[in-house]
Amino acid sequence: MPSNLKPMAITHLTRVDIEQRLPLAFTASEDVLGRLNIGTPLNPDLCDYLVRIYEASPKPATEILLNPNTAKRDLDLILDKLDIKRDDLFWIHPKAGGTLRRQIVDLLHANLEGHDPLIQIVVGPRQVGKTTAVEHLIKEWQGKAHYAAADAIVGDYGPWLEKQWQKALASGENTLLVLDEIQKVKNWTDIVKKLWDASKSRGIRVVLLGSTSLNHCLSRPIPESLSGRFVPIYVPHWSFAETQETFGCDLDQYTLYGGYPKAMELAHNSIAWQDYVGRAIINPIIDVDIYQQGRFKNVDNLRRAFRVFCQEFSTDINLTSLLNKIQHTGNTEIVKKYLNGFAEAFLLTQLHHIDDNGFPDPRKNPRIMANCPAVFTYGRDSMKSFSEDPIRFEQLVAGELSRIPHTSFGYWQQSDKIGMDYFIKMPDQQIFGITIERNETKRSLARSYDLFRKTFDGARIVSISPDNLPVFMQGQRAFLDMTAL
């Protein structure tokens, strides 16, 4: 911090002061602003955190800067003057706002800067920073870049796509072309194939982004027109490490609200958080990304199916029972269709039974897993922590294991007493059996371990409990290697 900065009244702080001091800040309603006109000189060395005040107002008015940090006594004194309780503060890191540079940016750089790179197709959940990641890429790109989004176009998208492509080509070799919401272009795969084949020798670099309906396209057999021409890049929900770095949250906060950075900013107010997740994430996914693609006839059934599935986490589901709970006519194939729809939309994942050869067994019903803690909390309308809710704990572990790329992941069960909660086969072929610590007898665990090792040669066993969860959350594979028996 520059030594020439002097203490000043909070009412006199400017944007320059914000940038220089990185001080404690909070967003407040007009009611709180009225209580801030106290003109108290604050020590400029008291800095480093951002604070957001609990307020019911859906549109906080403005930012006011404070500097209290180095001493609890100083902070309490200021809060007393403001008539604000310490418990009404939600602490977050100065990087708040979702500006974290995610690792996906480095992957895109590596893929695009090589010789004769393929088209990069970026997919992932809503509201996790796909566009922000590409903005980082564009800013860092050593060359010209052209970005365009199809969501602002009315009418025929085909000519629009060709026009953007030609603009990029006109900028010369090594130009980066980024096209967002590409799934809105009818027959985009055929158009992109034609343009790519005609121009790839000219050194153009192409990144395509889209919503969950784009993932629906890619999860089917690859269209002949794109075969061998693209690399899918998956942008996952935010991890605990990313969320902690950006917002300074603890493990309890992440396991309740984590996954979506914008929603995390509202975690201090559970009502506002619930409203935002519903309006900005869950409802658009169901109503737009899934329903409006024409795969389902009744949006109310879709919404009901989501709620029903969220009550079935970590259980061996019965398709007929689910059909009855959804109150849907027809056969169980519609339940499978719903499950696939939610999986392609990155809301819920099917965890399949693994047979004794290490492959998913289609004869056994899957289990349902929430793709991130926020989906679990919203779907079950539950604020119980992982230490209070064993199902949340199981789901949290499953979600973290599923983040490990290029693995075979499921569950292995031989009977009610014999099995592994999770089976995971790594890219290096190492197999782990993971158990969730419960009140099981040592005999049943010992029998499960023995049979698992006999079934899968060289397999290793890991037990995860609330006590070692913090270490597991900091690095899943490293934890497995370090603690496996």
- In which band, very low, low, confident or very high, does the pLDDT at 185 lie, cut at 50, 70 and 90? confident
Tens of pLDDT, residue by residue over 134-164, are: 999 999 999 899 998 887 665 566 788 999 9
Listed in sequence order, the residues at least 6 apart from 314 whose beta carbon sits closer than 8 Å to its beta carbon are: 367, 368, 369, 391, 394, 395, 398
Which pLDDT value is given to residue 176? 94
The residue-averaged pLDDT of 66-76 equals: 40
Decide the pairing of beta strands 348-351 and 367-370. antiparallel
Which pLDDT value is given to residue 216? 56
The residue-averaged pLDDT of 382-395 equals: 90
The residue-averaged pLDDT of 353-369 equals: 91
Which pLDDT value is given to residue 457? 93
- In which band, very low, low, confident or very high, does the pLDDT at 173 lie, cut at 50, 70 and 90? confident
Euclidean distance between CA atoms 253 and 240, whole angstroms = 10
Tens of pLDDT, residue by residue over 113-133, are: 877 889 999 989 988 989 889
HEC letters along the chain: CCCCCCCEEHHHCCHHHHHHHCEEEEEECHHHHHCCCCCCEECCCCECCEEEECCCCCCCCEEEEECCCCCHHHHHHHHHHHCCCHHHEEEECCCCCCCCCCCHHHHHHHHHCCCCCCEEEEECCCCCCHHHHHHHHHHHCCCCEEEEEHHHCCCCHHHHHHHHHHHHHHCCCCCEEEEECHHHCCCHHHHHHHHHHHHHHHCCEEEEECCHHHHHHHHCCCCCCCCCCEEEEECCCCCHHHHHHHHCCCHHHHHHHCCCHHHHCCCCCHHHHHHHHHHHHHHHHHHHHHHHHCCCCCHHHHHHHHHHHHCCECCCCCHHHHHHHHCCCCCCHHHHHHHHHHHHCCCEEEECEECCCCCECCCCCCEEEECCHHHHHHHHCCCCCCCCCHHHHHHHHHHHHHCCCCCEEEEEECCCCCEEEEEEECCCCCEEEEEECCCCCHHHHHHHHHHHHHHCCCCEEEEECCCCHHHHHHCHHHHHHHHCC
In order of start, what are the domains of the chain with their CATH numbers? 8-92 (no CATH), 104-234 (3.40.50.300), 240-483 (no CATH)
Tens of pLDDT, residue by residue over 298-344, are: 889 899 999 999 999 988 888 888 988 888 777 888 889 999 899 98
Q: Is the dihedral of CA 473, 235, 253, 386 positive or negative?
A: negative
Which pLDDT value is given to residue 159? 84
Is 74 a residue whose pLDDT tops 80? Answer: no
The residue-averaged pLDDT of 448-469 equals: 92
CB 376 within 8 A of CB 370: yes
Which pLDDT value is given to residue 485? 84
Q: Which of 118-127, 195-204, 340-349, 433-442 has the lowest mean pLDDT?
A: 433-442
Output the six-digit token pair for 457: 């040669």
Higher-pLDDT residue of 315 and 347 is 347
Q: The whole model's pTM is what?
A: 0.74
- In which band, very low, low, confident or very high, does the pLDDT at 482 lie, cut at 50, 70 and 90? confident
Output the six-digit token pair for 439: 């009140």
Tens of pLDDT, residue by residue over 212-226, are: 656 555 655 555 667
Higher-pLDDT residue of 348 and 95 is 348
- Kindly state the percentage of the chain with pLDDT values over 90: 31
What is the length of the chain?
A: 485
- In which band, very low, low, confident or very high, does the pLDDT at 378 lie, cut at 50, 70 and 90? very high
Tens of pLDDT, residue by residue over 394-430, are: 999 999 999 888 889 999 998 878 889 999 999 999 9
Tens of pLDDT, residue by residue over 271-289, are: 888 888 998 899 989 988 8
Euclidean distance between CA atoms 262 and 125, whole angstroms = 13
